[in-house]
Amino acid sequence: EADIYQTPRYLVIGTGKKITLECSQTMGHDKMYWYQQDPGMELHLIHYSYGVNSTEKGDLSSESTVSRIRTEHFPLTLESARPSHTSQYLCASSAVGSSYEQYFGPGTRLTVT
């Protein structure tokens, strides 16, 4: 089982609230990723990081922001949640090198009412 954790697992929140989804890994991986997954759909990359103080936007435009102050921690923040942000958010990490697989966290299912 991969050592990558996400909290909370489920979150129901009202419109306009600020939220932070937590992601931590204990494998010392430099690369971390955030994917968004709507029910029954594929995953889309929304953010990634090469290492500390390095973050980039992914293929799918997202109003969320991320930070990478420590290697093991890659939180995602929504300043003002909206119903359109309702989705599943998956965090992943991988070691440097193209042959290394990505390990996924259990995901956070976010519902904005």
- Footprint on this chain of other proteins (rule: CB under 8 A): 2, 31, 33, 40-45, 48, 50, 56, 58-59, 88, 90, 92, 94, 98-102, 104-107, 109
- Residues 37 and 43: beta-carbon distance below 8 Å: yes
Q: Do the beta carbons of residue 76 and residue 107 sit within 8 Å? A: no
Tokens, residue 65: 């922001």
Helix or strand run (H / E) with residue 93: strand 87-94
Measured from the CB atom, the residue of 65 and 103 that comes closer to other proteins is 103
* The two structure tokens encoding residue 33: 């990723």
Cβ atoms 31, 96 nearer than 8 A = yes
Q: How far is the CB of 80 from other proteins (least distance, A)?
A: 26
Q: How far is the CB of 23 from other proteins (least distance, A)?
A: 13
Residue closer to other proteins, measured from CB, 19 or 105: 105
Whole-number minimum distance, CB 101 to other proteins, in Å? 5
